[in-house]
Chain A
Amino acid sequence: MQTSSQSPQRSPSVALLSAAMILIGLLGILFFFAAVANDEAIQYVLNWSPGDSDEQTPSLLLVYLERFGIIVSVLIIAAGLFFVVIGWRLRAGGIRMAYWARIALLWLGIGAGAFIALEIFNILNTAAMDREAVDFSALVSAIAPALLVMLIGFALWYWLNNNIDQAFSGDDSLLGRETRLAWNLLIPTLTIFVLVAARPLEQTFIRSLTDKRFAGSAVPQFVGLENYANLLTFRLDTVPCRKSVTDGPCDTRANGSVRWESIDRELLREGYRTIFNIRLGDQSLAISGLDDDFIEAIYTTVIFTIISVAGELLIGLFMALVVNSNFRGRGAMRAVMLVPWAIPTVISARLWELMLKDTSAGIFNKILLDLGAIDAPLAWLSDPALQIPTAIIVDVWKTAPFMALLLLAGLQTIPSDLYEAASVDGANPVRRFFSITLPLLRPAIAIALIFRTLDALRVFDLFNVLFGRQQLSMATYNFETLVSNQQDGYASAISVIIFIFISIFAFIYVRLLNVES
């Protein structure tokens, strides 16, 4: 068997390909540095001088991170180095490197093609908006470099594709083949991930370290971890209960809860607000923070998530089992089942707002009044005690179909002969459910649970329409801070904390449900 190091006769075309790969990699990195140096915003900071304006000096680092960021910079340089390394190793004539080179060239061509399409779209679009004729010479000069890259990429790829077995030698492993195919197939998803998730999230993280205002013109400055400190500072104090009579019993509220003294005036002035009181004998441990709204929003969201996801799972499973049985009109029923999910949340939240009106104009109050279950209309949306239960009812109604459809697809993969065998063995339906359906449905349930839980933790539309600022979820608090209070930096810090909170949660959850193995 021939190994790569022993192949003495290197064809000149292999050397040429190797050189081309190295050149492409180096030029790519060089081009990126040139783009940074020539960037308008970067140039502006470099040429900025403290003239008569009283603006603060813009930070070069901040502008660089805003414009390019760490992720994109690292990825571009890594891609360039990948080309260089592959090109270098290609000289040995090993077929594995040739396979990797083929992937790299293919995606270079596709990437350049996408860039060309984007440029053409932009030029045509701008021309259409300005109602001007398309300037073809400008168009050609805009796409010429990318066109060259695309042609070179595809030409090399084509040559490699046809000559890979003649020009290269060595053995390939099945594992290597699977690895390459896997990365090839993952590139579209990972590109999207970088473009619409990683990069925007990185910008949010960068802004969270600044005092940026939303839609403001002031130059943002680094404030370090100040935003985080404000969100996460806690203190514990012991406070006595409130007594109207000295040495008498503790005062209580109408609902029986004890009234505690507030924390020190000085602390209140510093911005501390008590979030929870934990009773320790006739004293109380007061947990106070600088941003009590945020902590309360977390608490509300977690409670909402636990109860509504549990409800959705039960109702969704019930719906899936019913719709999976044999009866006439099953097809129509599957469509009917999905109706709540099909109505856009912004509309269904309004619909529920209408049905839950706090007078007899609301159908829920009317039904309950007619049934004699209540004496007076309930204020479903404005009574703090009813807000969370209401939100849960609406959310369960809306998203149980999502659960049901995922579980239905899971039910379809359970082979029916298992049930036949179980019936022959005399297992009753309840036993069949617990010993066949539930275990085999586990993967579908786990995935439905993960996605519903993460969705519920991010609940936004529902709380925004139903409660506005009255009852905040984590996401609506984030929104209010950004849009109403215009604190972009602070809102970004909230986003980052929510992200960290949910990712820890998701990691533990995925482990517990054991879906990755």
Chain B
Amino acid sequence: MSQPARPASTLFGMTPKELRRKLQQALLYALVILVAVYALFPFYWAFVTSFKTENEMFQTASYLPRNPTLQNYQYVFSGGSFLLALRNSALVSSAASIFALVAGSFAAYALGRLRFRGRVALLYVVLSMTMFPAISILSGLYTIVRQLGFFGTGLSLLVTYPVFTLPFTVWVLTSFFKGLPAEIEQAATVDGCTPFQTFRLILLPLTAPALVTTGLLAFVQSWNEYLFALNFTATNPSAQTVPVAIALFSGEFSEQEPIAEIMAAAMVVTIPLVLLVLAFQNRIVAGLTAGAVKG
């Protein structure tokens, strides 16, 4: 194609086309800022609050702390039990999300790519794990955790967390497996792959964006889970996870809720997750499947 002739009229030294692109860029950045403000304002508020004194909680809200203090952070880290809770949370959440990804991708491959009787019924069976509130099964799980001898240890959370991490891992991955073109498998079969090799060597790498996404969501859900952690680990300080440790802050200082300390802890808890997302986000890469079919 030949270069289009330069139009005579220009605005701010730009052609209408350039101008339009600039305007689109500006609009895009405006939307980005809108999303950022919407997502971050409460987080900003938690951040500011974490530097405020207890008294300031009851005065008219101010956008910056009047007497910035670090004592809330000192409180959070005093005694070292919070660091222990951070470590416990990291261990439990990593193990829970890895388990969810392994078991979930197995099940999803079966449900999404293989033909067998009872496939649809099993999809509902997996989904049925999300059809009751956690409180419904709490005492039943308590009995099982006791019988297994896991009460008061991180293992109690490792066995119970799949109840919420597995269903959506399985469903999301099933839908991704279904979306992959049938040609991939046919080619693999022609090349002499067994179905399991097709799964492990060819299909699994193609679902990387979905694996990263579901892995992150499973990690965050496990990191934030409160009800099971409270009931199964609260009695053993060395096994508590972060939400439980924060919930148990209350009442050590005064009658009132130590809200500023809780916000300081919230900062400490959320930042590792943000870093984790930052580290993994570029793995949600574009065009993987498109490339696979063409090439």
A and B contact pairs by CB, cutoff 8 A, 9 listed = A338-B277, A344-B223, A344-B224, A351-B266, A361-B60, A409-B213, A415-B287, A458-B130, A498-B133
Is there contact, CB below 8 Å, between B166 and A341? no
- Interface residues, chain A, CB within 8 Å of chain B? 118, 121-122, 125-126, 175, 177-179, 181-183, 185-186, 188-190, 192-193, 195-197, 199-204, 207, 214, 315, 318-319, 322-323, 325, 327, 329, 331-348, 350-352, 354-355, 360-363, 365-366, 397, 401-402, 405-406, 408-409, 412-413, 415-417, 443-444, 446-447, 450-451, 454-455, 458, 460-461, 474-475, 478-479, 482, 488, 492, 495, 498-499, 502-503, 506-507, 510, 515-516
Residue of B nearest to A394 (CB): B42
Given contacts A178-B195, A333-B35, A413-B176, contact A341 B220 (CB under 8 A): yes
Residue of A nearest to B242 (CB): A344
Q: How far is the CA of A505 from the CA of B155 in the complex (A)?
A: 33
B37 to chain A, nearest CB (A): 10
Is there contact, CB below 8 Å, between B110 and A495? no
Q: Which of A192, A351, A361 contacts B42 (CB 8 A)?
A: A351
A440 to chain B, nearest CB (A): 9
Given contacts A185-B106, A413-B289, A444-B175, contact A322 B35 (CB under 8 A): yes
| Dominant secondary structure of chain B at its interface with chain A | helix
- Interface residues, chain B, CB within 8 Å of chain A? 25, 28-29, 31-32, 35-36, 38-40, 42-43, 45-46, 49, 57-61, 102-104, 106-107, 109-111, 114-117, 119-120, 122-137, 139-141, 143-144, 148-149, 153, 155, 159-160, 162-163, 166-168, 170-172, 175-176, 178-179, 195-196, 209-210, 212-213, 216-217, 220, 223-224, 226-227, 242-243, 246-247, 257, 259, 262-263, 265-266, 269-270, 273-275, 277-278, 281-282, 284-290
Please indicate which of the listed interface residues A204, A318, A352 has the most CB atoms of chain B within 10 Å of its own CB: A204
Is there contact, CB below 8 Å, between A510 and B127? yes
B155 to chain A, nearest CB (A): 8
Besides A200-B136, A200-B141, A351-B263, 4 other CB < 8 A contacts?
A333-B32, A344-B242, A347-B263, A460-B134
Is there contact, CB below 8 Å, between A360 and B61? yes
Q: Which of B126, B140, B274 contacts A342 (CB 8 A)?
A: B274
Is there contact, CB below 8 Å, between A345 and B40? no
Residue of B nearest to A191 (CB): B103
Taking CB atoms, residues of chain A closer than 8 Å to B28 are 322, 325, 327
Is there contact, CB below 8 Å, between A478 and B103? no
Is there contact, CB below 8 Å, between A361 and B106? no
Q: Which of A186, A341, A507 contacts B106 (CB 8 A)?
A: A186
